[in-house]
Chain A
Amino acid sequence: GIQVEQSPPDLILQEGANSTLRCNFSDSVNNLQWFHQNPWGQLINLFYIPSGTKQNGRLSATTVATERYSLLYISSSQTTDSGVYFCAVASSNTGNQFYFGTGTSLTVIP
């Protein structure tokens, strides 16, 4: 299968700070998504980004498929950004099933 590594595993920020979350993967992928899991367990879609750059409000993401990594940027963080951020990938080389990283746990303090 594909190895998906996320860093850092834990992050504590002051409200208003910026952060960068990283996702490295071990094979070429045809699908990559970023999710935010809220305290009730719901996975919220952030970005569908197998390649390129996208922005949505205070969040943006970049995937450099040739170098096998993706970055999620959070600017002007708010307490509601707290939670776990997951990167998930799928590859036709490994049966097209999805592999999730272990997540980055973000805590934003007021």
Chain B
Amino acid sequence: KAGVTQTPRYLIKTRGQQVTLSCSPISGHRSVSWYQQTPGQGLQFLFEYFSETQRNKGNFPGRFSGRQFSNSRSEMNVSTLELGDSALYLCASSLGPASSYEQYFGPGTRLTVT
């Protein structure tokens, strides 16, 4: 069974631009969660989507948004990029709600904002 895939793997953007990252979960998994990892803040939860509905949201500004499609694939969007948004963005999938099921992570998208 294929694992969680994320595209693109690397991305360089300029301040003020917007970016869309994509995550394809393991087949059959209905929950997708997104995380941001930075050296200063560590791993922080962004949001979780389950059956196309946002189930949970972390403490991030409204510039960070996401959605989930009927095939469980998910995208996250960051608008008006800031230098501080440079990070490794990880997505994870689980069979059901992440709080009750084992999560499996993708390889991440490394975003650099210049």
- C-alpha spacing A90/B48, complex, angstroms: 13
The reply on A39 being an interface residue by CB < 8 A is no
Per the 8 Å Cβ criterion, residues 1-42 of A in contact with B are 30-31, 33, 35, 40-42
How many Å from the CB of B64 to the closest CB on chain A? 14
Contacts of B45 in A (CB 8 A): 97-99
Interface residues on A, range: 20 to 34
Q: Identify which of residues 94-109 in chain B touch chain A, using a CB-to-CB cut-off of 8 Å.
A: 97-105, 107-108
- Main SS of the interface on chain B? strand
Interfacial residues of chain B within 27-80, with CB under 8 A of chain A in the complex:
33, 35, 37, 42-45, 48, 55-56, 58
- The answer on a CB contact under 8 Å between B43 and A86 is yes
B104 and chain A: residue at smallest CB distance? A45
Identify the closest chain A residue to B44 (Cβ): A100
Which residue of chain B is the closest to A29 with respect to CB atoms? Answer: B99
Inter-chain contact B99/A41, CB cutoff 8 Å: no
Asked if A100 meets B42 with Cβ closer than 8 Å, knowing A41-B37, A43-B90, the reply is: yes
- Other-chain contact of B99, A43, A98, A102 (Cβ < 8 Å): A98
Residues of B within 8 A of A100 (CB): 35, 42-44
Most chain A CB within 10 A, of B43, B58, B90, B98, is at: B43
* CA–CA, A43 and B42, complex, Å: 13
Contact of B105 among A42, A96, A102 (CB under 8 A): A42
Known A31-B98, A41-B88, A42-B108; judge A98-B103 contact (CB<8 A). Answer: yes
Question: Which residues on A sit within 8 Å (CB–CB) of B56?
Answer: 95-97
- Name A's B-contacting residues (CB within 8 A): 30-31, 33, 35, 40-43, 45, 48, 86, 88, 90-92, 95-100, 102-103
Q: List 21 A-B contacts (CB under 8 A).
A: A30-B99, A30-B100, A31-B98, A31-B100, A33-B103, A41-B37, A41-B107, A43-B90, A43-B92, A45-B104, A48-B102, A88-B103, A90-B99, A96-B55, A96-B56, A96-B97, A96-B99, A97-B99, A98-B33, A98-B98, A98-B103
| Chain B positions near chain A (C-beta within 8 angstroms) | 33, 35, 37, 42-45, 48, 55-56, 58, 88, 90, 92, 97-105, 107-108, 110
